[in-house]
Amino acid sequence: MKKQMKFFVYMLPLILFGCSYEFPTAPEKPSLELGSANFDKFTILGGSVSSGFMDGALYNEGQNNAYAAHIGRLIEEELDTDIYSDLSVHSENGFNIDALEEFPNNPGRYKLLYSTPTEEWPVRMPTSGEELRLFTGKVDNVSNYSLPGLKISQLDDKELSGNIYFDRLTAWPAGQSLLDVALSQNPTLFILEAGISDIFNYAVDGASGDENPDPSNVLQYDLTPVTVFEESLNSAANRILSESEADLFLFTIPDPLKLPYFTQLPWYFSPSEFSKIRQLNLANIYDGLNLHIQQYNRNVENSNERRPLIVFDVDGGEKFRSKVIVDEYLPDAQTSDGVVIPKYRQMTDEDYFLYNAQMRHRESIATDAKLGTEIPVPDRYVITKGEMEIITERRNHFNNIIRDLASSDPQIHIIDFEQLIEKVYEGSESFNGVTYTLNFDYRGIISADGYNLNSKGQGLLANLLIEYFNGNFSSNLPLININSLRGNAYSSGF
C-alpha cells in the first residue's frame, strides 16, 4: 500500500501540471568522409588476391569477400551509386583446376576434412564444382579486372592466352589488353596487384618451373626474371599515371614460405608412421646406393660436393625418420666405375614438404608406406633449401623494385601486404581482441588451399587499405568487422 501511495505522490504533479518527456535517441551514425581520395572510378587490376580467389577456386562467396568488394560496398554507401563490379562467375563452388589430377569430375573449392579422430592434418577435399561459365556481360562496365594467376607480363599483353579465367570473357575487345580496357574507364583511383603470382605460381608448384626462363617465353609456373618484372611494372605504372589522373596503389609481395601450404606438413615421418615404415627393410633398399655414395665421397675433396647417405633408424631422431626426396640441386656424381648416382637425399629442417602431397602421403601411409621411402618424393611436392633461397632472393628483388618505384612519384602509394603477413606470422595482428594466425585453425586467415587468403584474410587486407586512406587522404571509412567473416570450413569423415 505504501509503494502505491509513493507512486501516486510522484505522479500527481505530472498529472496536474503536465509534462512531456523526451526519450533518449540513439546517436546518429557518422557520415562517411572520403577526404581527398577520389573513388568515382575505382579500378582494380591484379591476380588471385584481388579477384577473391580462395579455397582453390573462384566462386561467389570468394568474389563477394575480396578486399576490393568490401571497399567498393563502403564507397557505394557514401556516394549512393554503383561503383564496383567484377567479372562474376555465378558459381557456388567454382572450378578447382589444381584438384583435377586427383578428382577429374569437375572438382570445386576445397574444404578441410579430418578422416579419423587421430589425424593431425586435414586433407584438402574438393566440393562438387562446375565448369567455368562464360562471362557474357559488358567488360567495359566493370571495375575489377583481376584474374587468378595473372602474371605481371600479362597485364598489358594484347594477345593474352593460357589463362582460363581470361578465356571465359567472350565479349573482350580484340587487340585490347587488360590494362587497355581498365584505362578506358578513366580511373580516378587504381589498385594494381602486380608480382604476387610471379612468385606464388612458381613456389606452389614446388619450384618445378624454370627459375631462369627465356624472357620472351615465361610460362605460367616459371619464375619471372627480374628484368621482365621491372620492365613490365614500370611500363604499366607509366601508362596509368600518364593516361589517367588516378592515384596508383601497389602491394608488396608477402613471403609464401610462411603460409600453411609450405609449413604445416613435417619433413620427417611421425613415430606412428614410422612403425609401418620400419617393416619395409629400408637398409637393404639403400645399401647399394650408400656404397656408391661412400665410394664417390672418398674421391671428393670439397665437402660441399659430397653426397649424404640415406639412413633410417628407428632409435634415431627426426633426421633419421626424414623423407627421401629428389633434389635436382645436388651435384652430379658417379662412381669410379661410371655408375651415375641418382640425386636422392633425405629432407632436413630447411626443406618444405608441400600440402599438395598430403593426399598422396596419407594414402601411402595407409597402404604401402613407400612414398618418401622406397619412392623418393617428386620435385613438385618439395621446396628445398636451394629453391627457398632462389624464391626469397627473387621476391626481395621484386619488392625493392616496387618500393623504388613508389618513392619516385608521390602519386604512387604502397600497401605493405608483406608486412601484414609478417605480423600475422609473428602473432601480433589482431582485431577486437582476436589474434589471427597463418595456420589451419579457426583464427587462420589463409583459405583451405593453403596459400590464398580466406574471407578473414581479405577483410584484414581491406582494413590495411582503409587505414591507409584514413591516414593519408583524410577519409574516415569504418573498418571491416573481421570477426564476423567466415573462416575455413571443416568436416569430419568419421
Nearest 5°: CA angle at 452, between 450 and 457?
110
Calculate mean pLDDT across residues 32-39: 85
Measured distance CA(139)–CA(300) in Å, rounded: 62
Task: Give the three-state DSSP class for 454.
Answer: coil
Calculate mean pLDDT across residues 242-265: 97
Measured distance CA(94)–CA(128) in Å, rounded: 9
What stretch of H or E contains 383?
strand 382-383
pLDDT tens for 456-477 read 999 999 999 999 999 999 999 9
- Asked if 350 and 386 touch (Cβ cutoff 8 Å), the reply is no
pLDDT of residue 30: 53
Calculate mean pLDDT across residues 401-430: 97
Is a pLDDT exceeding 80 seen at residue 106?
Answer: yes
pLDDT tens for 187-205 read 999 999 999 999 999 999 9
- What grid cell was written down for 180? 587497355
Q: Give the pLDDT band of residue 140 (cuts 50, 70, 90).
A: confident
- What grid cell was written down for 121? 592434418
Mean pLDDT of the chain, nearest integer: 91
pLDDT of residue 11: 47
Strand 382-383, strand 352-353: pairing: antiparallel
pLDDT tens for 379-388 read 999 999 999 9
pTM over 0.75: yes
Which string of DSSP letters, residue by residue, matches 328-354?
TTSPP-B-TT-PBPP-EEE--TTSEE-
Measured distance CA(393)–CA(395) in Å, rounded: 6
pLDDT tens for 428-455 read 999 999 999 999 988 999 999 999 999 9
- Asked if 384 and 326 touch (Cβ cutoff 8 Å), the reply is no
pLDDT of residue 31: 60
Selected residue with higher pLDDT from 89 and 24: 89
Is a pLDDT exceeding 50 seen at residue 1?
Answer: no
| CB-CB neighbours of 302 under 10 Å | 7
Residue with cell 596487384: 193
- What grid cell was written down for 309? 647417405
pLDDT of residue 184: 95
Instruction: Report the percent of the chain where pLDDT is more than 90.
Output: 77
- Asked if 105 and 139 touch (Cβ cutoff 8 Å), the reply is no
pLDDT of residue 161: 81
User: How far is C-alpha 294 from the geometric centre of its chain's CA atoms?
Assistant: 43
Measured distance CA(349)–CA(329) in Å, rounded: 17
Name which of 28-32, 159-163, 297-301, 307-311 the model is least confident about: 28-32
Region of residue 353 (left: phi > 0; alpha: psi -120 to 50; beta: else): beta
Measured distance CA(18)–CA(11) in Å, rounded: 10
Counting DSSP H helices and E strands in the chain, the numbers are 15, 13
